[in-house]
Amino acid sequence: MKTIDELLADGVSGKRVFVRADLNVPLADGTITDDGRIRAVVPTIKALADAGAEVVVASHLGRPKGAPDPAFSLLPVAERLAELLGTPVAFAEDTVGPAAHAAVDGLEPGQVAVVENLRFNAGETSKDDTERGEFADQLAALADVYVGDGFGAVHRKHASVYDLPARLPHYAGYLIAREVGVLKKLTDDVERPYVVVLGGAKVSDKLAVIDQLLGKADRLLIGGGMAYTFLKAQGHEVGISLLQEDQIPAVKEYMERAEKNGVELILPVDVLVSPEFPDLKTKAPSQHTVVDADKIPADQEGLDIGPKTRELYASKLVDAKTVFWNGPMGVFEHPDYAEGTKAVAQALVGSDGFTVVGGGDSAAAVRTLGFDENAFGHISTGGGASLEYLEGKTLPGLAALED
């Protein structure tokens, strides 16, 4: 895999460089609530612009249905990118049409343009190779060179991620190079003890990675909504908590394998429960109590790990040399149920080991809860991509960057 440093060494002045970024940031009424993914790609864009390249930045945002939708416009992203770069950024109101070509043709060396949401075009996400290829041909007409730096999208076989690199000289940007280097530290030559913290809503989303980690990790700490399927598999009442009944057989098998392999699989010993889900808009105080994990009332829902579990998990992280964390411990968006996630983040901050926050809601939680990002070894920009890499899958966007 060639890197951007090799591209810069060859010289890019006057060349049009297409940067496939991951600018899929959360928006609330058109306002960006977390610009982490934009900031993550700035070093690549700035290095190219400083070297005299004409930089064309492209990304998707949200899940539009293959047609323009103002709710998913990249205009706010382009405006924020301009602020971070400290220079004007042109914005094209289409992706491969007249506006895109006008914006790109108007670039001078060192200037940057952002084209509109790639998913406004059905060819970007098409399952049909020909349709996807035709869209990739249109994108290729905008540039001379391709730089892949959208790590959060490399697990997708999409036109701009998988097909376009085959049509242009291609290189990995700084972000992708760093993400892959970090993931290799979690898979190839791991320093031990190796502790993995998994949370989030659905256990089905994590089964494949648990399957792989049972042969690699020393400890697995389970929290979030997925923990209640594990507790149910142990025969406990989980009330109206999030539960995937159909996953119980697989969970039982994994618990047995963990014991057989000498992997500590640790579940909550107490939880915060409430008769109703909290209001995340108003953040109004919510009625809740703490109960032992095996005593959840039938009419209550588990929404966070309890204080004993926070202490237990912190104690299991204190001596870790490598930590991977993916998924919050509870409904961290509400202050009443943020303490479990906060406790895990604080334990990672206090760790002497190499700590990786695996993107998605975990990365959002770190920022929402006010932690210094530099206090962690690495905060990934791609939760899904990180998990699929750890599962041992071939990621289309990385395969496409290989020579």
In tens, the pLDDT along 349-379 reads 999 999 999 878 898 899 889 999 899 999 9
Active-site residue identified among 2, 202, 257, 308: 202
d(CA 176, CA 40): 10
pLDDT for 233 beyond 80: yes
321 is a catalytic site residue: no
Mean pLDDT of the chain: 96
Q: Which residue has the tokens 């320093």?
A: 191
Tokens representing 31 are 């306002």
Q: Where are the alpha helices (DSSP H) in 1-35?
A: 4-10
Q: Which residues, in sequence order, are bridge partners of residue 304?
A: 272
Average pLDDT over residues 268-272: 98
202 is a catalytic site residue: yes
pLDDT tens for residues 240-253?
A: 999 999 999 999 99
39 is a catalytic site residue: no
pLDDT for 285 beyond 80: yes
Contact 196, 213 (CB under 8 A): yes
User: What pLDDT score was predicted for residue 75?
Assistant: 97
Structure pTM?
0.89
Which has the minimum average pLDDT: 53-57, 70-74, 185-189? 185-189
178 is a catalytic site residue: no
Higher pLDDT pick, 383 / 179 = 179
pLDDT for 29 beyond 90: no
Active-site residue identified among 15, 20, 37, 206: 37
Q: Which residues, in sequence order, are bridge partners of residue 289?
A: 273
Contact 231, 237 (CB under 8 A): no
Percent above pLDDT 90 for the chain: 91
- Torsional class of 154: left (φ above 0), alpha (ψ -120 to 50), beta (otherwise): alpha
Q: E strands, 8-88, where? A: 16-20, 27-28, 31-32, 54-58
pLDDT tens for residues 197-220?
A: 999 998 998 999 999 999 899 999
d(CA 376, CA 369): 14
Tokens representing 386 are 């990180």
pLDDT band at 238 (very low <50, low <70, confident <90, very high): very high
Active-site residue identified among 360, 382, 383, 397: 360
Active-site residue identified among 173, 200, 225, 384: 384
> What does the DSSP 8-state code read for residue 395?
P
Contact 258, 218 (CB under 8 A): no
pLDDT for 268 beyond 90: yes
